[in-house]
Amino acid sequence: MANIVDQVSLGAIVQVRDRLLDQQAKGRKILRLESGDPSFDIPAHAREAMEKALRDGQTHYTASTGIPALRQAIHRKVTTENKLEVPGPDNVIVTNGGMNGLYIIFRALLDPGDEVILPNPMWTEIAENIRLAGGVPVPVRLRAEEGYLYAPADIEAAITARTRAIFINTPHNPTGMVVRRKTMEEIAAIAEKHNLLLVSDEAYEHVIFDGEEHVAIGSLPAAKGRTITVHSLSKTYAMSGLRLGYVIATDDLILMRLKKLVRCTINGVNSVTQYGAAAAINGPQDATLAMAAEYQARRDILFAGLEKSPYVKAFKPSGAFYMWASISPDWPGYQGKTDDWSMTNYLIDQAGIGSAPGSAFGPDNEGYIRFAFSCSTDQVRAAAELLPSVLQAAKA
Ligand SMILES: Cc1ncc(COP(=O)(O)O)c(C=O)c1O
């Protein structure tokens, strides 16, 4: 019997990770460039707040939308830093990571058959969560020759009578492109003109390089009242395993639905994590800035390494910690349409280097490969040194 969940994959990156860990268990040195998990420790003040919460016995159910101290901290942060107009902490819903936020957002917004426009390539889980809610993902191509930037005209051309929302992600996984204010304004104007909602995934808002600015689309006049924003502490504070994200919504009906969904799914995030999150948001932000600087250094190391190989052409990201590269058909290991898996498989087998195949990021992305540089600088350096010669050594 078919079930909507059958439309969801188990995830290519999970498969790569399992194989790498298997090799590691057999004593092989592996380089974890397959997934976006920060190598850093969480900020010291977040750790201390969690230790204190444990000592104070803060281990009981919390309000399902989050403890007041955290929702207040988030409200302050999104109004001052992201410049969102949000009436109060009641518009903040604390979620079990950004992933859980995305799940409840699409579940709250979509009726069966409703369409959501999203970029292609895109992190797989976006389309999967749209499908889980009965919706239809409508991918709009980002083009290498345009620096993978959103093309507002292409977005507008994809709108149909069934379109409910436009999904935006900046900095973008998997290309690392950062959307500039002018493009955001154009997209917000399109949403206003066609009376569409905007779902803005800002998981990488603090992983941004070269002095680029992160613009929260919800802060733009045309986007006000029609934007639902999802954030994550996974990348900003390296709190990936602690599972904390949040959703901001201002529409009363959507907010009510989100609250019901949280109550009936997670019924609140781990209490101890919430105290750590409040401390992280309220405390000094120097750890976040230092991480971004280190990611930028890793980006430069990896980019320089890939530039030495004629078989991959990498895009230099302005944010997030991913390098998206096209695979040359001249690569001796090239195997046509399935090529992204052949390079991913080859790199695991020959060098213990992780990557993610392009096909994991939406339709027609075979021929691309994604390297993550969130693992340690030493691992990134080792991979950058190895990659040109390993790729060269492939046999047809
Ligand atoms: C684009 C994007 N959004 C959201 C997330 C959510 O992360 P988490 O569930 O750890 O908060 C991720 C994680 O990799 C991501 O890449």
Say how many Å lie between the CA of residue 100 and the centre of ligand 1. Answer: 9
Q: Is 129 in the pocket of ligand 1 (CB under 6 A)?
A: no
Which residues, in sequence order, are bridge partners of residue 322? 372
Element of type H or E holding 25: helix 12-25
- Strands (DSSP E) found in 285-350: 312-314, 322-327
CA of 245 to the centre of ligand 1 (A): 9
236 lines ligand 1 (CB under 6 A): no
Can you give the pLDDT at residue 339? Answer: 84
Q: Is the CB of 238 under 6 A from ligand 1?
A: no
User: Helix, strand, or coil here: 135?
Assistant: coil
Sequence-separated (6 or more) residues with CB below 8 Å from residue 288: 43, 206, 236, 237
**Residue 99 CB–ligand 1 contact under 6 Å:** yes
Alpha-carbon gap, residue 347 to 17, rounded angstroms: 13
Our answer on whether the CB atom of 123 is closer than 6 Å to any ligand 1 atom is yes
Ligand 1 centre from 232 Cα, in Å? 7
Verdict on whether the full-model pTM lies above 0.95? yes
Give 340's DSSP letter. Answer: H
Which atom belonging to ligand 1 lies closest to the Cα atom of 122? Answer: 1
Quote the pLDDT of residue 396: 60
The response to whether residue 232 sits with its C-beta less than 6 Å from ligand 1 reads yes
List the beta strands (DSSP E) in 60-174: 92-95, 115-120, 136-141, 163-169
Cβ neighbour number for residue 330 with a 10 Å cutoff: 8
Model pLDDT, residue 7: 87
Which residue puts its alpha carbon closest to atom 5 of ligand 1?
A: 98
Residue 232 CA: nearest ligand 1 atom is 11
User: Ligand 1 pocket, 374 CB below 6 A?
Assistant: no
Q: What is the number of the ligand 1 atom nearest to the C-alpha of 36?
A: 14
- Set out the domains of the chain in order of their start, with CATH numbers: 4-41+287-390 (3.90.1150.10), 44-282 (3.40.640.10)
Are 136 and 107 within 8 A, CB to CB? no
| Ligand 1 pocket member 318 (CB < 6 A) | no
Ligand 1 pocket test target in 167, 173, 179 with most atoms within 8 Å of CB: 173
Determine the residue of 123, 199, 231, 295 to mutate for testing ligand 1's pocket, defined as the one with the most ligand atoms within 8 A of the Cβ atom. 123
Q: Report the pLDDT value the prediction gives residue 173, as an integer from 0 to 100.
A: 98
Q: Is the CB of 317 under 6 A from ligand 1?
A: no
* Neighbour count for residue 104 (Cβ, 10 Å): 27
**Cα(99) to centroid of ligand 1, in Å?**
6
Local confidence pLDDT in tens for the 396 residues of the chain: 889 998 888 888 999 999 999 999 989 999 999 999 999 999 999 999 999 999 999 999 999 999 999 999 999 999 999 999 999 999 999 999 999 999 999 999 999 999 999 999 999 999 999 999 999 999 999 999 999 999 999 999 999 999 999 999 999 999 999 999 999 999 999 999 999 999 999 999 999 999 999 999 999 999 999 999 999 999 999 999 999 999 999 999 999 999 999 999 999 999 999 999 999 999 999 999 999 999 999 999 999 999 999 999 999 999 999 999 999 999 999 887 788 899 999 999 999 999 999 999 999 999 999 999 999 999 999 999 999 999 999 876
State the closest ligand 1 atom to the C-alpha of 244, by its place in the atom list counted from 1: 11
Q: What angle do CA 147, 123, 25 make, to 5 degrees?
A: 115
Whose CA is closest to 245, among 129, 379, 369?
Answer: 129
Question: Is the CB of residue 128 below 6 angstroms from any atom belonging to ligand 1?
Answer: no
pLDDT at 1: 81
What's the gap in Å between 394 CA and the centre of ligand 1?
33
Nearest residue (CA) to ligand 1, atom 1: 173
CA nearest ligand 1 atom 12, residue: 203
Where do the DSSP E strands lie in 112-265? 115-120, 136-141, 163-169, 197-201, 227-232, 245-248
Q: Is the CB of 98 under 6 A from ligand 1?
A: yes
